[in-house]
Amino acid sequence: MHNADYLELDGRLAFVETWPGSRPAVFCVHTAGQSGVQYRHAAAELAELGFAVVVPDLPGHGRSEPAADGPISDLSWYAAWCTRLIAALGLERPYLLGCSIGGSIALDMATTMPDLSGVVALDPSGVLGSDGGPPPRPVLEDSGSPSMRDRTYFGTVEACGRSVPAERVELIAQMHCREDWHITVSDIHGALTHDIRDALADITCPVRILAGEDDYFVPPSRVRRIADLVPHAVYELMPGIGHYPMEELPDFAERFDHWVKDFAEVVS
């Protein structure tokens, strides 16, 4: 039975959705500025395949209360928060699944959590830090720029893959417009400054890192660079898919099931 409830963590309320299952839990981390609603289809379908599923809203996102010190611009802070949440829920050997900053957060968590069943990172947008100098802190907007809603809407449309039907792209874009840009710009700054290259060698669990061929935000070449630094990681390029595979792919749960079955073969 699907359950949605609040859990107190660090003195604030976190909104967490759960589905029971006989297979290890899949802990799902959403993208910058968004919420667990991005897994609204994938989570239920993963549960149908027998997985327990946990989908939190990160602090300040969706229905979760903000962090005590305001918007977070450090993905490693989110990783530590997620690790504490997993401990509070008593999850044993979960899979970590994340997209964009969520993929980066999942990889960050794996550097300090040896007891995992595996990590599936979709289009991770951090990990390598800035390729140039320190990035300027993002600004909200000015009078000469499009509205933040328009940036999100049209940016999402552009970031979806060419194989995704137009009506599905429209729905994804409409759903993505429910965000707080004070949170989003902090998340983006976190992605631009997140550098855990030196810790990637500490990951011991199976890892699959995937890139959407049509990703407008994170070039596949950058994702491949990340995969090359993670021990035993498998890299996969998804043709015709963009930045949001768990929303774009109608068979995402079945693909995830295949990926983790590959994990079992690697371990054996």
Confidence of residue 178 (pLDDT cuts 50, 70, 90): confident
100, pLDDT greater than 60 = yes
Cα 210–chain centre separation: 12
Confidence of residue 70 (pLDDT cuts 50, 70, 90): confident
Q: How many CB atoms lie within 10 A of CB 25?
A: 24
pLDDT tens-digit map of 1-18: 799 999 999 999 999 999
pLDDT tens-digit map of 118-129: 999 999 999 998
Amino acid 137: pLDDT: 65
Structural domains of the chain, ranges and CATH numbers in brackets: 3-267 (3.40.50.1820)
Average of pLDDT values for 117-146?
77
Amino acid 266: pLDDT: 55
Q: What are phi and psi of 224, to 5 degrees?
A: -65, -40
Average of pLDDT values for 226-235?
96
Amino acid 115: pLDDT: 95
Average of pLDDT values for 172-189?
91
Q: What is the DSSP track for the chain?
A: --EEEEEEETTEEEEEEEE--SEEEEEEE--TT--GGGGTTHHHHHHHTTEEEEEEPPTTSTTSPPPTTSS---HHHHHHHHHHHHHHHT--S-EEEEETHHHHHHHHHHTT----SEEEEES---SB--SSSPPPPPP---TTS--HHHHHHHHHHHHS-TTS-HHHHHHHHHHHT---HHHHHHHHHHHHH-B-GGGGGG--S-EEEEEETT-SSS-HHHHHHHHHHSTT-EEEEETT--S-HHHH-TTHHHHHHHHHHHHHHHH-
Amino acid 150: pLDDT: 87
pLDDT tens-digit map of 51-60: 999 999 999 9
Amino acid 141: pLDDT: 56
Among the residue ranges 39-48, 60-69, 116-125, 144-153, the one predicted with the least confidence is 144-153
Q: What's the mean per-residue pLDDT of the chain? A: 93
Average of pLDDT values for 159-176?
95
Match 């099931």 to its residue by tokens: 257
48, pLDDT greater than 50 = yes
Amino acid 111: pLDDT: 98
| 3-state DSSP of 191-213 | HHHCECHHHHHHCCCCEEEEEEC
Q: What is the pTM of this model?
A: 0.93
268, pLDDT greater than 70 = no
Residue pair 204/113 in contact by the 8 Å Cβ criterion? no
